[in-house]
Each structure stands twice: as structure tokens, then as C-alpha cells.
Structure 1
Amino acid sequence: MTLPAPAPRSRLARRRPAWAGRNYSLLTGAAVVTNLGSHGALIAAAFAVLEAGGSSGDVGLVAAARTLPLVLFLLVGGALADRLPRHRVMVAANALNCVSQAAFAALVLLGEPRLWQMMLLTALCGTGTAFFNPAAEGMLLSSVSGEHANRAFALFRMAMNGAGIGGAALGGAMVAALGPGWVLAVDAAAFAFAGALRAFLDVGDVAARAPGGGLLADLREGWAEFRSRPWLWGIVLQFAVVVAVVGAAEAVYGPLVARDHLGGPAPWGYAMGAFGLGTLAGALLMMRWKPRRLLLVGTLCVFPLALPSAALAVPLPAWGLCAVMFLTGTAIEVFGVNWMTTLHQEIPEDKFSRVSAYDWFGSVSMLPLATALAGPAESAFGRSGALWGCAGLVVLATALVLLVPDVRRITRRPVDPTTSPVEEAQVPAKVTPG
């Protein structure tokens, strides 16, 4: 019997790797588009406030208006993304982001926006992000197979980081040349285009969600999944501390040290650029390296996050700070890829988004408080003392999480290449004895 000839692959399918399926390619392309727009829009929003006569405190209020809804709605967003088709949640969130950024752009281009208007529109954008992030991470985790997960997550993060670097540079140049309003308009268009791409995601292979007992029941089920895994909540608690103190050091102390000891803002910009390049180097490394003990290797790579605070405390010259930031970017990318691979391996597919929401919530929950306390800490301990304290907290939190047995023991699981990503996510986890 003659078998039918295989259907010819499209030109696009022939160009991409065999493991980069349609959903993965659409998700990566859409993420690049939104990161190009969003990183420029962050700069544009700050300059929009200043050009409207606002102070640095007003810039902080607009930034806080973006962060607060992110914290408030992340858990609800995660529950909805595991209850509804994830791509619909993503498209709806992109639509909200598009409308809010378009309205922000119109206010800036047509007149002098008021502070409350900018805060409201920025809060709507943050709300969209809160619903988008858990759905997007769940969709990405379900789009690849374990055999290629490491490479897929590394390439995705490299594309996102590269787009973020390019978006910040392009956005800054566009703000200087055209003004912040046009950059916000470009960001709105980017959300519209990315939402259109995400509308074409194929969810035919994803099993229909079983009807649950309501939103609160879904949240409780997600919480039970989260707290039942000590390695999961241990690392989230670790990052609640790490993200808070590293964020405070970079947002508050870094610019001050650059102004007082490094000659101005340019060296700090170079250092942040070196961090971005480090993340690209880390992603390239992880496309080839598949460490067996995923969380142990990843957690050891969190220790270098103490180095930027220590370098600012000394302070090191600009070239030394850039070297430290490059190393830190590389190390955190190794952690990031191993973390995503572990979640993909250990968490059931139907709970991806809720677990992701608890992860995001825990990781960012202390950041606003730490940023607010940075000034009082400097007054109490001195800038150098506060920075050494930041470095010490990173080391302490990371050392403590290594005491959790599963952090040291969870290993990469061999995967049957014939198993689909969704089927693979249901395989029970295996932990190597210590």
C-alpha cells in the first residue's frame, strides 16, 4: 500500500527549527513586538509627566499606579487564565493595554494631561499586564516539549531581553526626536499588532477545562498546588527579598552613586546596558547547556546578584561596575531558564497560570516597600551601609533556600520525544535522593 506523501511545509515552517512550533513562534514574535514598544513607553511616560510640569515625585506616583494593579490582580488573572482559554485572556489584556496607551498618547499629543489622568491610564495598563502575564507564561509553558524546553525558553528569553534593550534605546531616541506622545502611540500600535498575532494561537490540543467551583475555589486550588511544593514557595520567598533589595539598589542608589562618584548618568546607563548584554550571553549559554540539577544550578547563580550592590558600596570604577553587571545578567539568565524548565517539568498543565500568578505576586510584592524604605535606610545606615545590607540580604536569602532538600535534589527528567507538551506536563515529578 502506498502511503500518502506528507503535506509540504510552509516557507515559514521550513525556516524555523523543528521544535519551534506554530504557537511558540507566534508567542515569541508577539513578545518581541510588545517588548520593543513597552520599554520605550516606560521612558516616554516619565518624560510625559515631566513635560506636563510634574516633579520627580509625580513620576514615582505614575510608576506606582502601574505597579499597584499588578500586585492586586495577578492572582485573579492566574485563576482566570486556567479557567478560560489562555489566548483569549491574552488578547483581551492586549486590547486593554492598547486602548489605555492610545488614550495616554492622545492626551499628551493634544494638550497637557493631568496627573490623575496619567495615573488612571497607567493603572489600566498595569491591570492588563496583571491578567496577561500568568496567561502568557502558562501558554508558553504548554507550547514546547521537554526535550527542547531548555533551548526554547532560552531563545524566548533572549528574544525578549534583546527587544527590551532595543526598545529602551529606540524609545529614548524617539522621545528626544518626536516627543513622548508618539512613543506611547507606537506602544499602543504594538499591543494591537501583538494581540492580533496571539489571536491565531492554536489551542486545539489543550484539553477543555473542567468546570470548577468558582473563582475563589480556583484560587484555593492554585494555593494548595503552590504551598504543597517547598521548593516552589521557598524560591518565591527568596525572590521576594532579592527582587526588593536589588530593585531598590538599582532604582535609588545606582543613579546617586553614578552622580556622586562615576561622573554622571552615562556610566550608569553603560552598566545597565552591560547587564542587558549579560542576559543575552546567558540565554546563548543555556541554549546549549542542560544542567542536570536544575534548581541547584539556578539557585547558585542567584548569589552574583549581590555583586552590583557591593560594587556600588565600594564604589568600583565604571568599567568594574560594567563587568559586574554583565556577570550578573548572565547569571540571572541561567537561573531564569532553569526556573522555567522546572515549572514546565513539575507543574500540571491545567495549573500553569495559577502557579505563575503566585510566583509573580510573591516576587514583586515587597518591591514597592523596599523602594520606599531606601531613603530612610540611607539616612539610618549611610549609603554604603545600606548597599552592603542589600548585598547581605541577597546572600542570606539564597543560602537559606539551599536548605530546602528539593532545591538541591530536583533533576532534569528524560522525556519521550513522542509525548506532546500537554501530556508531558501530567507525568509525575521525580526527585533524585540526596
Structure 2
Amino acid sequence: MTTPADVRRPSWAGRNYSLLTAAAIVTNLGSHGALIAAAFAVLDTGGDGGDVGLVAAARTLPLVLFLLIGGAVADRLPRHHVMVAANALNCVSQAVFAVLVISGAPPLWSMMLLTALGGTGQAFFGPAAEGMLMSTVSGEQAGRAFALYRMAMQGAGLGGAALGGLMVAAIGPGWVLAVDAAAFAVAGALRSFLDVSHIPARAPGGGLLSDLREGWQEFIGRPWLWAIVAQFSVVVAVVGAAEAVFGPLVARDELGGAGPWGLALGAFGAGTVGGAFLMMRWKPRRLLLAGTLCVFPLAAPSAALAVPLPVWGLAAVMFVSGVAIEVFGVSWMTAMHQEIPEEKLSRVAAYDWFGSIAMVPLATALAGPAELAFGRSASLWGCAVLVVVVTALVLFVPDVRNLTRRASSTEVAKAATPLVEPSAELATGLPVEPSADPLPDRPGAMDEPGAEPSADAEGSVRRFG
């Protein structure tokens, strides 16, 4: 019997997909506001840009240290168990952070320690979540599924950033951190209900080092993969420094405080929603070329902060960059889904994350000293120039320019089969778009709705959002 919910929901959006999408919405509502709250918690205790950078770096350093281990663990243990445990750690660390901020002025070392615990949780969560997301739907529908998932996730980020900025201004950062802790608790509970009984047991490997070696060989053997990760080691670092350190300072000194900065981040979230909506309809044939060209606009927010533009101008720039990064994000995830074996997804994702964020602690820690040495505006212009230069360089890699979306087995069969009846195009005189996402069924992907090894990857692609 078909229920109304089944009619409204696509066949590939099974129970696990729905649970994970709901969990991602909840955590993104909390975490986007918490990013603003953490920065202003430091500033409210008398800290400066250097202190904000140290707290941001304290979160990222454990990511760098534990990501590779997290990827190997996620390919050995049930991925949803790893995700739930990581959510529990994030919940506890944010709850303690909230209590300290609400009860008084916490010392800088305690904020750094609690933020580091949150980063440790993310180091194990990220690879598990990314691996599960890429194996949650059938190959032919992967691109559309990724876009819809990211649309929901980024829409929550939009609301979370705007609401978080307003809440910080109205009731203080401590309560926003408390909301984030509650969001992690709810998301962990949702993920605990995942059904992964259809996932075949993984064969025992040769140990942690052997698993890491296999992941490295998979990673380094693909020029498009390591080239773009190297590119984003710079892009993520400078954009992260601009948004985590310089953005709140510019907002405080030039734009009027946390509210306008939350509005600008909300505009970025709106852009990511628009970009995801675009990618539900547009399927670029050259996946990585289209995606990489859309990285250039990420230089614009740093330039806008350097001027600085008024709030409406900054919001417009952030919106465009949000659209652009979402085009890259869906293209990147589709390429990974198409090219990487399912049983190695978490390890490859770990190397991806590791390379992408390796320079973030250094960049955020140096943001304050750079402002003192060169000035805030010059430092922001430097961020913008670096994004443009490294993105131009990666276009010289042939695989980045030439990797194409493969035709699905269904489309190949249609192309090889003579027409039995008049096509819709012949009958109406109008072109008809194919309904299936042109991706091959990848070994290990579950084909039946509800039998998928589920997924989430908040903050994953390209860690902007």
C-alpha cells in the first residue's frame, strides 16, 4: 500500500536518508549560530583578534591530528556509531562552554580546551559522515540527492546564522552555545535510529597503518583529487581566517556588531540554498572544471571586508559566493561518489579533510599578528589574492579540466536500443530532459530505498557552511 508520504518522497529518499537530513538540519541550526557566539564570547571577555584566532585554531588543531585515524576507524566500525559518539562529545563540550560563558568570564585556556574537544569530535564525525552520505542512494540519483540534502542543510545554516547573530546580540553568546549543545543531543538521538542492517560486514583489514596506507594510495593515485585538496589547503585556510577572525572584527568596528555579521553569514547560507537548487537541475558534464571555476568568487568576501562594503553590499557578495561554492560542492561530491570505491570512502574523505584544513590552525593563529604587521585591510586583500592564484594554478591539471560525468547504465541501454514507440520529443516537437542523474551504479551502493548505509556530512564540502 502506498502512503501519502511515499507519494511525496522520491524512491531513493528512504528512511535513513530522511533521518540523516533531519539530523543535519538540527545541527546546522545550532552550529552556525555557535560559530558567531564563540567569537563574541572571546571578545566579550576582553579578548582581541589574536585571542579569537587562538580559539578558532584550537578547534582545528585536533581535526588535523585525528582526522586520518577517524577515517580509518569509520571504515572499520559501523559509521553511524562513530557519528553518534562524536555528537555526544560535541554536546558535552558545548554544554560546558555555555555554562562557563553564562556564569561569568571564562579564561582563554578553558575556551580553547572545550573548543578543542569539539574539534576532536568533528575529526571522527566528518569522515564517517561523508562516507555514509556518498553511499546512501543509488548511483543514478546521487547528484540530485546530494543537491537536495545540501539544500536542506544549508537552508538550516541560513536560519541558524541569522538567528544566532540576533540571539548573540539579544541574550548573549552563552545561551546560543547552550542551544548548539541541545542540537547535538537531538541529532545524535536521530542518528541512533538508523537502520544499517543491509550493510554487508566489512572484511577485517591488516591493521590501522595498513588501512591508512591503502587510503593514501587511493588518494595519491588520482591527480584531480590531490591537486584540488592542495588548492583547498590554501583556500580553506585564508577564507577561514577571514570569516572566523577578521569578519567579527570588521563587524564590530565598521558594521554595527554581531547582528549585521549574522545577516551577512545568513546571505551566504541563502546563496548555498540557491546553488543547491541550481544543481538539482544542472548537471555539468565536466564536473571538476565547472566546480573549480566557481571557486574564484570565494575571493570576493575577503575583498568586501577589506574595503569594507556596507552591510547590504557584503551580504550580496556573500550570497554570490554561497551559490558558487555549492556548485563546487555538489560537483565534488558527485566526482567522489563516481570515482572512489565505497569501502575506501571514509579513508579518502579523511585525507581530503586533512589536506583541506591542515593550514587552518596556522592561518587563524597568524591572523592577529598579520593584522598588526600589515593592517587589517592589507591582510584581507592578501587572502583574496591567494584564493585567485591557487585556483588558477589547479586548472593546469589535465584531469581537473577533463574528468567527465559518466553516463548511467540506464542511459547507455536507452542509447543502444532502437525506439519502439514515438518519443516525447517527436510527439511534441519539444526537447525532453533525462529524468535520471547520469551516474553509474558504484559497487557497494545500495539500490533499494531504505537499504542504504546512510549519511550526513555537515560542514563537509569544502567546509564552508
The residue type paired with residue 39 of structure 1 is H
How far apart in 2 are the matches of 1:261 and 1:199?
45
Q: Which residue of 2 aligns with 1:396?
A: 389
Q: Does 1:55 align with 2:47?
A: yes
Q: Contact conserved, 1:142 with 1:422, CA < 8 A, in 2?
A: no
Candidates 93, 97, 105, aligned match of 1:104: 97
Q: Does 1:236 align with 2:225?
A: no
Deviation at 1:390, TM superposition (A): 2.5
Q: Which residue of 1 aligns with 2:240?
A: 247
**Partner SS state of residue 11, structure 2:** coil
1:88-99 mapped onto 2 (5 Å cutoff): 88-99=81-92
The residue type paired with residue 119 of structure 1 is M
Candidates 201, 207, 211, aligned match of 2:204: 211
Q: Contact conserved, 2:298 with 2:325, CA < 8 A, in 1?
A: yes
Identity among equivalent positions (%) equals 77
Q: Contact conserved, 2:57 with 2:364, CA < 8 A, in 1?
A: no
Q: 1:382 to 1:100 in 2, by over 3 A?
A: closer
Candidates 142, 149, 153, aligned match of 1:156: 149
Deviation at 1:198, TM superposition (A): 1.1
Q: Contact conserved, 1:275 with 1:328, CA < 8 A, in 2?
A: yes
How far apart in 1 are the matches of 2:199 and 2:315?
45
Candidates 382, 402, 420, aligned match of 1:409: 402
How far apart in 2 are the matches of 1:24 and 1:208?
20
Q: Which residue of 2 aligns with 1:373?
A: 366
Q: Which residue of 2 aligns with 1:26?
A: 19
Deviation at 1:319, TM superposition (A): 4.1
How far apart in 1 are the matches of 2:268 and 2:226?
27
The residue type paired with residue 140 of structure 2 is E
Q: Which residue of 2 aligns with 1:288?
A: 281
1:260-409 mapped onto 2 (5 Å cutoff): 268-316=261-309, 318-378=311-371, 381=374, 383-409=376-402
Q: 1:50 to 1:266 in 2, by over 3 A?
A: closer
Comparing 261-270 and 317-326, the one that deviates more: 261-270
1:183-198 mapped onto 2 (5 Å cutoff): 183-198=176-191
The residue type paired with residue 86 of structure 2 is A
How far apart in 2 are the matches of 1:390 and 1:239?
13
Structure 2 residue runs of 5 or longer lacking an equivalent are 411-435, 447-465
Comparing 202-211 and 246-255, the one that deviates more: 246-255
How far apart in 2 are the matches of 1:260 and 1:44?
17
Q: 1:422 to 1:140 in 2, by over 3 A?
A: farther
Q: Which residue of 2 aligns with 1:202?
A: 195
Q: 1:176 to 1:273 in 2, by over 3 A?
A: closer
Deviation at 1:413, TM superposition (A): 1.2
**Partner SS state of residue 326, structure 1:** helix
Q: C-alpha root-mean-square deviation of aligned residues, in Å?
A: 2.8
What is the TM-score with the length of structure 2 in the denominator? Answer: 0.81
Candidates 121, 125, 139, aligned match of 2:132: 139
Comparing 211-220 and 386-395, the one that deviates more: 386-395
Deviation at 1:103, TM superposition (A): 3.2
Comparing 208-217 and 101-110, the one that deviates more: 101-110
The residue type paired with residue 407 of structure 1 is V
Whose RCO is larger (CA < 8 A, sep 6+)?
2
1:322-347 Cα shifts (integer Å, max 9, x gaps): 33322211111100110011001100
Deviation at 1:214, TM superposition (A): 1.1
Comparing 266-275 and 162-171, the one that deviates more: 266-275
**Partner SS state of residue 139, structure 1:** helix
How far apart in 2 are the matches of 1:174 and 1:32?
18
Deviation at 1:294, TM superposition (A): 0.4
How far apart in 2 are the matches of 1:307 and 1:185?
33
Q: 1:259 to 1:120 in 2, by over 3 A?
A: closer
Candidates 12, 15, 36, aligned match of 2:29: 36
**Partner SS state of residue 409, structure 2:** coil
1:384-414 Cα shifts (integer Å, max 9, x gaps): 5444433322222112111111111111112
The residue type paired with residue 55 of structure 1 is G
How far apart in 1 are the matches of 2:166 and 2:305?
28
How many residue pairs get matched? 417
